[in-house]
Amino acid sequence: MRNIVTFTMVVIGFIISHSAIAQVQFTAEASRDNIGINERVKVSFTVNKPGDNFTPPDFEGFRKVGGPNQSVSQQFVNGKSSYELSFTYFLEPQKKGTLRIDQATINIEGKIYKTTPVSIKVGDAVDKPNDKSAIKKREALNGIHLVAEVSKSRPYLNEPIYVVYKLYVSRNTNVRNWQAVDNPDFENFWSRNIDNDQLSVKSGSFGGEPYRYVALRKTVLYPQKTGELKIKPLTLDLSVEVPTDRRDIFGRRLYETVEHRISAKTRTVNVKPLPQSGKPASFTGAVGKFNLETSTDRAGIEQGESTELELKISGRGNLQLINLPDVSSPPGLELYEPERKEDIKVNANGMRGSVTNTYTLVGQNAGKFPISPIEFSYFDLRSGSYKTLSSDEIVIDVKGRSNAIANNNDKTNEIDRRTPVNKISGVSSFKFIKTDTNLRPLGSKHFFRSTTYWVLALTPIGLALGSLFFFIFRKNQPHGKDETSRKVQKLAKKYLSEAKQNLDKPDKFYQSLEMALYNFLKAKLDISTSDITKQSVAEKLTHAGVSVDNKDKFIEILSKCERARYASFKASQLGDDYNHAARVITSIDKEIKS
């Protein structure tokens, strides 16, 4: 019995040891798990058994610049054999973030084996890539330099500067084409790229030696924070012709085309704050040179009618980033949320054009209502001081509806006095009327004074009086709440639509989204523009029966729109914010209706 047990244990041990020896190991390994956008990484897939039909992953997010390099190693040590088959690739990342290399597969003895996915974190470009192959290429292509030149290193807050990216190439090197791999996001700057469609080659110098250079692009920047701000590097992929030691039969040097990745160095600007001395109370951040204009389409209206007030700021400066001054209306005039229009062009010197707010004013009461002068202050870069512009006082003359009706009556009386009146006198004028009648009753039912008689007689009179009262009632209504609500809801939908159209322009997107939120509040809560604060909005929403969750979400979106005036947001966030706002508005609208 003991021999049987011993034999069984030996057999089991042999099977286990044989299984361990025969176990397939198929692995994936990256040379580094953390690289810069301008560095390379080596990825190897290794298996310890011969196999067929090796299938690599698609390397999404990477560009394959080398491989596959296949190698086989087989050794016999102390009577034991070892086998290793490897496939090696060299990859360049195409974007930043955590990139994943998916599974590779191989067929061994009819069975499919897979590797474990590998993650590689890709960060900002580094000034000196430490990948060995990249260093060798850098040495071979030391005649190419990408330089970022900044127009001003110490600008004021919201003062326009620009960065121009120049590609310097030595005279014995030719660049066939270029493609941006990593565009800087210009964090803490408002930015606008000015691409040059027709690139021109110019002569210059680099490091004291003659070079050719091309200005690839310019980007206008408006710093939104003070202090030290970094301009992250631009990274390009180049197809470069570099000379070789070989020559053709005519003695001309031969060239080879290689792919080369290059980055500009990080640049730093020190942004100065605007001076506190002499800063007027009406200053809201405008920097540049501006003009102020105000106008109305008509200064005299009747009670219940509307007029438009136009406030226009024009000139050169940070027009898309400024808040136009508020317009306050006196009691007796209803002021609606303005419609903002922009006519702005951006070039290397910054923004130039105009921004206009058009307000709708409705006369609620009769009288003359002055609109106080509007002040607009800005910081003048040329003089280094603050300037304040002021408009003239505008008086809106609202005529009472009763006076208008009286004037119409007077005009009617004057017409009556001028029009001759035909008079009928004397009994003889009625001789043509037959006075004798021969009437007979219609059976036992008398039509005169019957129910049918009174219905037919009084119905036209009732309809006429009803129409008259309805007309008078409607005419005396200055602007019904339903009409106002419809108008404001239309504006809210318009601005929400504008926000959707500007998903690629963060500044315009958040302006339109904020206007949509404001007009939604006016339509649903009957709240005036001057009363729109976070606290008042929260109180009104609570009083209207809106849930706490929807109220908090609405305030959050409103706050984000306000922050967008001073901070930059990535374009990927805009779609989420739009969907979030649309859902919250729809949900609140249903709650208020219910």
CA-to-CA distance for 139 and 260, rounded, in angstroms? Answer: 11
Of the pLDDT bands very low, low, confident and very high (cuts 50, 70, 90), residue 437 is low
pLDDT tens digit string along 284-297?
899 999 999 999 98
Residue 443 DSSP code: T
| CA 468 to each of CA 3, 365, 580: distance values in angstroms, whole numbers, following the listed order | 121, 24, 49
Nearest-5° angle of CA 462, CA 465, CA 466? 80
Assess contact for 350 and 220: CB atoms under 8 A: yes
Q: Quick one: angle between helices 506-525 and 481-501, nearest 10?
A: 160
Contact call for residues 588 and 553 (beta carbons, < 8 A): no
Task: Report which of 91, 103, 134 is spatially closest to residue 27, judged by C-alpha positions.
Answer: 103
* pLDDT(376) > 60: yes
The pLDDT confidence band at residue 130, using thresholds 50, 70 and 90, is low
Query: What tokens were used for 372?
Result: 């106080």
pTM: 0.51
**Torsion-angle region of residue 58: left (phi > 0), alpha (psi -120 to 50) or beta?**
alpha
Confidence of residue 474 (pLDDT cuts 50, 70, 90): low
Q: Which domains does the chain have, with CATH numbers?
A: 2-123 (2.60.40.10), 141-271 (2.60.40), 283-399 (2.60.40), 481-593 (1.20.120.330)
Mean predicted lDDT score pLDDT of the chain:
78
Judge whether 363 and 301 are in contact, CB under 8 Å: yes
Task: Specify the 3-state DSSP secondary structure of 583.
Answer: helix
CA 152 to chain centre: 28
Give the angle subtended at the CA of 211 by the CAs of 207 and 214, to the nearest 5°: 115
Give the residue among 133, 121, 120, 134 at the shortest CA–CA distance from 263.
Answer: 134
How far apart (Å, rounded) are the C-alpha atoms in residues 212 and 192? 26
Residue 148: name the closest of 205, 216, 226, 96 by CA.
216
Q: For residue 9, what pLDDT is reported? A: 52
37-82 pLDDT, tens digit per residue, is: 888 888 999 998 888 888 999 999 998 887 787 877 766 656 677 7
Q: At residue 431, does pLDDT exceed 60?
A: no
In whole angstroms, give the CA distance from residue 514 to residue 518.
6
Mean pLDDT of 146-172: 91
Q: What is the DSSP string of 85-118?
A: EEEEEEEEESSSEEEEE---EEEETTEEEEPPPE
Length of the chain in residues, anyone?
Answer: 594
Q: How many CA atoms lie within 13 A of 45 on its CB side?
A: 25
Q: Please give the backbone phi and psi of residue 274, each rounded to the nearest 5 degrees, phi first.
A: -70, 145
pLDDT bucket at 419, cuts 50 / 70 / 90 = very low
Q: How many CB atoms lie within 10 A of CB 281?
A: 8
Task: Tell the residue number behind the tokens 């609606």, with chain if given.
Answer: 336
Q: Residue 128 in 3-state DSSP?
A: coil
pLDDT at 442 (0 to 100): 53
Contacts of 31 (CB under 8 A, 6+ apart): 41, 42, 43, 44
The reply to whether omega before 325 is within 30° of 0 (cis) is no
Q: Which percentage of the chain shows pLDDT scores above 90?
A: 28
Cβ 537 vs Cβ 514: under 8 Å = no
Residue bearing the bigger pLDDT, 188 or 586? 188
Write a three-state SS string for 356-375: EEEEEEEECCCEEEEECCCE
